[in-house]
A and B are shown apart, each in its own frame.
Chain A
């Protein structure tokens, strides 16, 4: 239908013309004025306390203690079960969060501005590896780190970013792709490039040498530091694509550990959900599939913009890390995703694939027609809160989400 092709061309144009800049770090209350006390934003589509998976519940109780709403985890659990907290998806508030994706009023949020369309998107700072809240961690080590991010690191990062006038992200990601990142399970190059860009401004704006040293070491020791920046970038890129009448392009994919959800431009902010799947991958020594939690997090926003599993060809190292096969097969994932997308991104190219642009603009019609579900590179969380990442793998978005979306989309354009 001409109407759909025109609407999708507009959607692709908005994606490709986005001008994405990391500009600041601000308290969540300032970034999202609608975020109130005892409101908890989580990853994925809507989910209530009773249906949350173990790590998500663990994170909720931890963040309640961090915010001072509960004196300990036991009290926080009771409060959550009694309905004391107001749960909403990050996506409803211009935000995204990895894994459990906790966003609350007292946290510092990184701000990515889409200067072509005037919108902003937010994501909390990546906590590093090991025991972290995004995997459901909630002990004193986890909460102390969150306090340090709030009181020390976040403000320091914000000062440095304001000092630079912002870091343009599209060119940084383009370089990262040529250096082997796909921006979901491998961010080592982009994290390094970010540190290189920030080092001098962080020195220039530092108030204390010891704090500066700790901040630089924190970024330098975290290969996934850039992931949360890439996520806010993805959200800032996709939000202007929402609500284009007649467009069948996916604007968000996310999961909460219970359900997988997608949104489609032409059907507005409706979620199409299905039970989330288990990732298939490789486990760290001492862990197995029996330990794994179902797939979780808003990080699938990076696949929505053509990175992550869609850019696997740029990152043969990731193909091995997530157990997706030989390095020589990495390009097949990218080629397959080209069958369900309407274009390529000429600014984000893959050298080893003759500078093929990453597949861009997931069309639900193509997904349902081909039966090829989006490929997602993902970390695997332990199903018990607080243990952390136990592996990495590949997971497919459930086809049922796209089938439901197709039926609703057809109605929206008068087809039945």
Chain B
């Protein structure tokens, strides 16, 4: 486990959860890609960074007091210009504990959910499912012991009832299952290596398009 990961976890311990940009940093340090994102602490930085953004973007509040951002009105989607982003910054800055905003590029693709938890019988287990109604209504997920080889991860993905959605249902761009299996395997190894340092992890959603597997939101509970 890299020192920077351990430092983030240690610093977050008293809060009980890891701020989203830092959770994403842990993922990136372990070979998992995220949507491009920027932690903006001062509205003036928006102008300096505006050429780097590919619109639309989403702005999310960063606050140690707000874990469930959507419920507190801390997420503003579909921002198409620096002006809109500046306005969003201003609006979000009124929320409690404000420490800046996270600007995420909005990526199109199929939504996947990945997660990890501590099971009383099996210890660290990882979960993968197809996002949206497949998970919520049909509970279409695969759960396996961490860690997984890429082959085991592929078998888990292939066991999903909604596999057709991944392989290009109705003309959609198919998800590269090998790339997704690699992602799930690397995630399971991270989970295993984290050991007792966390309670649960949610990567929701993970956006998938072809070979691109990008984490759009990450939550780590300690």
Is B a genuine binding partner of A?
A: no
Chain A residues engaging chain B, CB cutoff 8 angstroms: none
Chain B residues engaging chain A, CB cutoff 8 angstroms: none
